[in-house]
Amino acid sequence: MRIVVLAGGIGGARFLRGLKAAEPQADITVVGNTGDDIHLFGLKVCPDLDTVMYTLGEGINEEQGWGRRDETWSIRAEMAEYGVEPTWFGLGDRDYATHIVRTQMMSAGYPLSAVTEALCARWQPGVRLIPMSDDRVETHVVVDTAELGEDAEHPGVRRAIHFQEYWVKHRASVTAHAIVPVGIEEAKPAPGVLAAIAEADVILFPPSNPVVSIGTILGVPGIRDALVEASAPVVGLSPIVGGAPVRGMADKVLEAVGVETSAVAVAKHYGPGLLDGWLVDATDADAVAPVEEAGIRCRAIPLMMTDVEATAAMARAALDMAAEVRAAGEAGA
Ligand SMILES: C[C@H](OP(=O)(O)O)C(=O)O
């Protein structure tokens, strides 16, 4: 079975671990979000690609969900001694090696997709991990400068800050007025992305951030159309449970794009043109009827990724729903 998964960081990576446990023989292609990428100290950092790679390659810091296990922080301490900014983004020594190798290869002319493949040769994630695009896309967030503590005498002045500054430095505590994936209009899908979508048997949206992870991937010209045209069913799992994100602060960026923080609203945001099926948490059973009324097959099951077995059960439910969609399509054809 050929499965394509659109993934952000922690939620996507943990879901993939369950999917691999549920379908060990499957041929899985992961289209990774690169809108969270940031250039720091001259290095290109790809947080979501690395979280998928480290998680599936058994190198992740399990407690944090990001970064390397058994990490040390000598470089960060030395940089602080020099007074070098920014200090709010945590890069450990082991993690630095990944960014140095990536940056060195990119400086030598290799595209990000080739570099990612080379990094994965070490980590053996057991999936084909492709960035959504080889072109540089970096998500920015429009905020009020007064809320940043700048320019207090000029209320109403806004500027765009990098997504990581908004998310990691400010913990999404300043109002996001708009989410702007800079560079996306000119970005092309990375080699292999459109073919994987066209040839897939099943396409899954894990419980990743619908705005800044999956939403950014969908914004790369050509990817959304390929998904709509794909013969494979598209099934998603809600990242919102009981009106709140399972983890993180996705509610803040949903608000910025005018979408309510609910399993129903996120399903409608993706829409029936894109989604064939949607899984909501058992506590959101009352979401099933409105999602189905919107034209998307829906079921309520436990959606907490507490361990690999619970996550594998979610993956199996998504694959079962995809099979139902396919059977219904064949019966109707
Ligand atoms: C930004 C992040 O997205 P994810 O990596 O979970 O898709 C989150 O919502 O915590």
Residues 60-95 pLDDT 10s: 999 999 999 999 999 999 999 999 999 999 899 999
Q: Answer positive or negative: Cα dihedral of 195, 292, 329, 27.
A: positive
- Average pLDDT of the residues in 96-107: 98
Helix 10-22 / helix 47-56 crossing angle, nearest 10 deg: 30
> CA-to-CA distance for 115 and 98, rounded, in angstroms?
10
pLDDT band at 263 (very low <50, low <70, confident <90, very high): very high
Q: Which of 51, 212, 255 to mutate to test ligand 1, by most ligand atoms within 8 A of the CB atom?
A: 212
**Do 64 and 105 have their domain in common?**
yes
Nearest CA to ligand 1 atom 3: 209
Give, for ligand 1, the residue of 209, 240, 259, 303 to mutate: max count of ligand atoms closer than 8 Å to Cβ: 209
* % of the chain surpassing 90 pLDDT: 94
Residue 2 within a domain: no
| Closest ligand 1 atom number to CA of residue 36 | 1
Domain match, 147 and 261 both: no
Same domain, 328 and 293: yes
Q: How many CB atoms lie within 10 A of CB 106?
A: 16
Spatial distance between the Cα atoms of 153 and 134, rounded to a whole number of angstroms = 42
Ligand 1 atom with minimal separation from the 8 CA? 7
Taking only the tens place, the pLDDT of each residue in 178-211 is: 999 999 999 999 999 999 999 999 999 999 999 9
Same domain for 242 and 169: no
Each residue's pLDDT tens digit, 276-304: 999 999 999 999 999 999 999 999 999 99
Mutate to test the pocket of ligand 1, among 31, 33, 54, 213 (most ligand atoms within 8 A of CB): 213
Residue among 19, 7, 82 at smallest CA distance from 322: 19
Confidence band for 50, pLDDT divided at 50, 70 and 90? very high
Other C-beta atoms lying within 10 Å of the C-beta of residue 317: 19
187 domain-assigned: no
Same-domain pairing of 117 and 151: no
Residue-number span of the structural domain to which 161 is assigned: 138-182
Which distant-in-sequence residues (6+ apart) come within 8 Å of 170 by Cβ? Answer: 148
Atom of ligand 1 nearest to the CA of 7: 7
- The number of distinct structural domains making up the chain is 3
Beta-ladder partners of 143: 159
Q: What is the pLDDT of residue 117?
A: 98
Contacts for 64 with CB less than 8 Å, ≥ 6 apart: none
Q: Could you report how far apart the first and last alpha carbons of the chain are, in Å?
A: 22
Q: Measured from the CB, is residue 11 less than 6 Å from ligand 1?
A: yes
Q: Same structural domain for residues 63 and 147?
A: no
Q: Which helix (H) or strand (E) holds 111?
A: none
Which atom of ligand 1 sits closest to the CA of residue 212?
1
Same domain, 120 and 42: yes
The rounded distance, in Å, linking the Cα atoms of 69 and 18 is 20
- Mean per-residue pLDDT, 230-257: 96
Same domain, 255 and 313: yes
Q: Is residue 100 part of a domain?
A: yes
Residue 115's φ and ψ, nearest 5 degrees, are -65, -40
Rounded to the nearest angstrom, the distance between the alpha carbon of 48 and the centre of ligand 1 is: 9
Strands (E), 33-177: 38-40, 43-45, 128-131, 138-144, 158-162
Residue 24 lies in a domain: no
pTM, entire model: 0.97
- 325 falls within a domain: yes
* Residues 122, 226 within the same domain: no
Q: What is residue 150's predicted lDDT score, i.e. its pLDDT?
A: 87
Count CB neighbours of 157 within 10 A.
12
- SS percent in the chain: helix, strand, coil, step 5: 45, 20, 40
| Cα 42 to ligand 1 centre (Å) | 24
Q: Whose CA is nearest to atom 2 of ligand 1?
A: 209
Cα dihedral sign, 262-267-270-271: negative
Residue 111 is part of a domain; what is its CATH number? Answer: 1.10.8.240
Candidate from 53, 208, 211 with most ligand 1 atoms within 8 A of CB, to mutate: 208
